[in-house]
Amino acid sequence: MSARALAILVVLLVALGGGALLLQRQEAAERPANAAVLGQKVFKDLKAAEVASIRIADPKSALTLERKEDGWALAERGGFPADVAKVRDFVLKAIDLKVGTSEPIGEKDRSRLQVQDPAKGAEGAGTLVEFRSADAKPLARLIVGKKYFSREPENAERAPADGRFVQRPDEPGTVLIVADPLVQASPRSADWIDRNVLKIEKVGTLAVRFPDGSGWKVERSGDNADWKLVGAKPAEKLEITRANAASYVLGQLELADVAPTEAKNDLQASGLDRPTIVEATTLAGVSYTLRVGKLVGENYYLSVSSSSGAPRDKILAEHVLLVPKSRLEDTLKPRAEMLAKKEDTKK
């Protein structure tokens, strides 16, 4: 190869190398600065087996979920059992949480996106979720902020979100968007319990006694037998459909929440010092006593005891519960409303 040809080849190689370098720099400039973290896990080292407790706090309240030998419990509700499925699902979602978008953030935007630390009392505070080890050391912390919508809905407060703005407290200069709306990130005890743990089915005897001494009692001999009003006067006739409804709803009971532990000691505040007493005995001979206290909002304070001996019923007996008014209305009817109307009795 001549010297002239060699020189031309060298020039071409230099030109090609320079062009490739320029193209590489252009691609790097066009690529988002956060491209390296997109799709990565928010918590790289979080492991389900290491999580012994979860603390969730917003500016107004806090809740601690604690792992026990037989499941999870709510510390602020006297150890009332948490719904294990809800806790497990929440932990697994946190472990699999991936970065959808990562952006730098300033103080004003932190408030606007509601990712301020709730412990600092600042405006725009979010909900702090902290996963802790058995020795109470934090394994991972996340501030859950405002809902994220790909398109602005008509009612953002009620609309299901497409994701959530979140921030790791150890990275205060960055806000993340994750695809999971994290609806379970709540310090409300009502959101963590199994609401269907109180069921009284196949009732054979049902008696209701009100604080003023009035009341009624019905009974039946079998599941398909008609109800009879105990102690009925000659002119009184039981409205069978109402007796059916009064017993049926006991099998459809659900919890609205578990009352704070102090409610068990302050019977006057809960109205359990002068309760309406509901006594139900199943056809199998298991008896339940419900003490119904004050109506607060749409829920009654309620305590329950049972002869069943079942672990679930023993746990319920240790707590003051809150039960929706709508679930007890048919059972708490006064005696007069349990009777057939006079014109019906003549037919």
Q: Going along the chain, which residue ranges are E strands?
A: 53-57, 62-68, 71-74, 80-81, 101-104, 127-132, 138-148, 163-167, 174-178, 203-209, 215-219, 228-229, 257-258, 276-282, 287-296, 299-306, 321-324
How many other β-carbons are positioned within 10 Å of the β-carbon of residue 160?
Answer: 9
H-run or E-run covering 103: strand 101-104
Q: Are 203 and 283 within 8 A, CB to CB?
A: yes
Tell me the pTM. Answer: 0.84
The whole-number pLDDT of residue 107 equals 86
CA–CA separation, 87 and 53 (whole Å): 10
DSSP letter string over 296-334? ETTEEEEEEEESS--HHHHHHHTS-EEEEGGGTTTTS--
The whole-number pLDDT of residue 18 equals 45
The whole-number pLDDT of residue 120 equals 86
Q: What's the N-to-C CA distance of the chain in angstroms? A: 123
Cα separation values, 254 from 78, 249, 251, 281, Å: 19, 10, 9, 19
The whole-number pLDDT of residue 23 equals 39
The whole-number pLDDT of residue 2 equals 62
The whole-number pLDDT of residue 153 equals 81
Sketch the domain layout of the chain as residue ranges: 48-188, 203-345
The whole-number pLDDT of residue 67 equals 98
The whole-number pLDDT of residue 151 equals 86
pLDDT truncated to tens, each residue of the chain (347 aa)?
Answer: 565 554 454 444 444 444 444 334 444 344 444 554 788 999 999 999 999 999 999 999 999 999 999 999 999 999 999 999 999 999 999 999 999 999 999 988 999 999 999 998 778 999 999 999 999 999 999 999 999 998 888 778 788 899 999 999 999 999 999 999 999 999 999 999 999 999 999 999 999 999 999 999 999 999 999 999 999 999 899 999 999 999 999 999 999 999 998 888 899 999 999 999 999 999 999 999 999 999 999 999 999 999 999 999 999 999 999 999 999 999 999 999 999 987 654 54
